[in-house]
Amino acid sequence: MTMQPVRDHGVFHAFQPLPSGDAPLLRLARQAGYRSVAVFPDQTTCAIGSEAGFDEDRSGPVGWRQLATATVQNSSVLLPLVRPLLPWSAWSAAPPNQAGTFTYDLQREIREILTNGRAGRPTFVAAHLTYLHIATYPRLVDLSWAERLAVASAPAGSVRDRSFDWDDVDQPEDALPLRRWKVARVQSVLAGAVDATGFVERGGKLLVFSDHGDRVGLTPQTFTDAKYHHVVMATLGLPERAVERPTSLIDIAALAGFAPPDLAADPVVEFAIGPPELWIKLAETSRIHWSGEVDLDAQLLGGIFRHLRAHRPWAAPPGSGVARVTNRDSRTPTQLQTPEALPEVHR
């Protein structure tokens, strides 16, 4: 949304607000004649959909309100069953198809994302699915017969959803590799919705990407490992790009067709994280607002930000003048790899 690296916009931690003013990506979309719609089903840790300045916000509640409203619905039998039948309303405290409730329907969510356009004016929809981070068990009808048998024969309590863990990974003893199953589920539902809605045939353009890749074992000492530098990204209806070249998500305006396609940002990986004991201090000094927003101590966050580290695993764009980078907490430069040393690109 900011089209800037972390070192410039300074947002690196959960609950941090966006810089004031409309997001640059939205400004470019409007200049291109697009109406903008936000669909962020779960805004527990960030309120981009409600803060960035979209023309229409169809996102879920912010912060603690998301958790509170989902908990209330899950504590009732009738409420979660009735609310999905109601139409979406701007005055409602939560959308009828609310993420985090046991009746949440991923198919409905993606279908509505793909059909948010209006006749006569192009619509830019920004959406963030948190399906992989919420405890959402598969419905029986969505499992194969082999998967149903594996779950039915597993000891009680052994099938666990660890989706809320930021570095969740399937374990060998899992009766159902739930994380892998949910990743495949998102992909299959999205592909089915694109076909069912005739999205491409109607002239739709789709940019799909993950906001992060593998995070198991991610630390300030390991963030330079190549396995952390790649995320899923695919386009439909948009111009082809050279897949062998590194692409930064900072170039999202060019990827979406709102800016010249020859833009190339510095492909830098940045990372900052506070020690575990600092999380306790951040929680103790936090301030909760009725709107759902959570304020964190700016001084504590500043202490973490000062140790922001940067790594450039790929060659810098031609003409950028970037040859190497010095970590903010170290005077040891990170040397660039030669093009021959670049990892294989998976299409």
Identify whether 143 is part of a domain.
yes
Q: Is residue 284 part of a domain?
A: no
- Give the total number of structural domains in the chain: 1
pLDDT of residue 317: 54
Instruction: Tell me which long-range contacts 175-183 makes (C-beta under 8 A, separation of at least 24).
Output: 175/150, 175/151, 176/138, 176/143, 176/147, 176/150, 176/151, 178/137, 178/138, 179/132, 181/138, 181/147, 182/131, 182/132, 182/136, 182/138, 183/132
CA–CA separation, 312 vs 296, rounded Å? 30
Query: Residue 157, by phi and psi: left (phi above 0), alpha (psi -120 to 50) or beta?
Result: left
pLDDT band at 191 (very low <50, low <70, confident <90, very high): very high
Residue written as token pair 């993606």: 110
Residue 314 in any domain: the answer is no
Q: Which amino acid appears at position 24 of this protein?
A: P
SS3 of residue 17 by DSSP? coil
Mean pLDDT (whole number) for 238-267 = 82
Q: Name the residue range of residue 154's domain.
A: 6-265
Q: What is the DSSP letter of 18?
A: P
Between CA 114 and CA 121 the distance in angstroms is: 15
- The DSSP annotation for 251-267 comes to GHHHHHTSS-TT-----
Question: What pLDDT, on a 0 to 100 scale, did the predictor assign at position 333?
Answer: 30
Query: For tokens 């992909």, what's the residue?
Result: 187
pLDDT at 344: 34
CB 39 within 8 Å of CB 112:
yes
256-293 residue pLDDT tens: 888 887 767 888 889 998 888 888 899 999 999 998 99
Contact 1/48 with Cβ under 8 angstroms? yes
Please check the confidence at residue 111 and state whether its pLDDT lies above 90.
yes
* Residue 326 is assigned to a structural domain of this protein: no
Query: Does pLDDT of 220 surpass 80?
Result: yes
Arithmetic mean of pLDDT, 128-156? 86
3-state secondary structure of 90: coil
Q: Does residue 18 lie in a domain region?
A: yes
- Report if residue 87 sits inside a domain: yes
Q: Is residue 328 part of a domain?
A: no
Check pLDDT > 70 for residue 322.
no
d(CA 210, CA 214): 10
What pLDDT is stored for residue 347 in this prediction? 27
Given this model, what pLDDT does residue 244 score? 77
Residue 200 lies in a domain: yes
**pLDDT tops 60 at residue 107:** yes
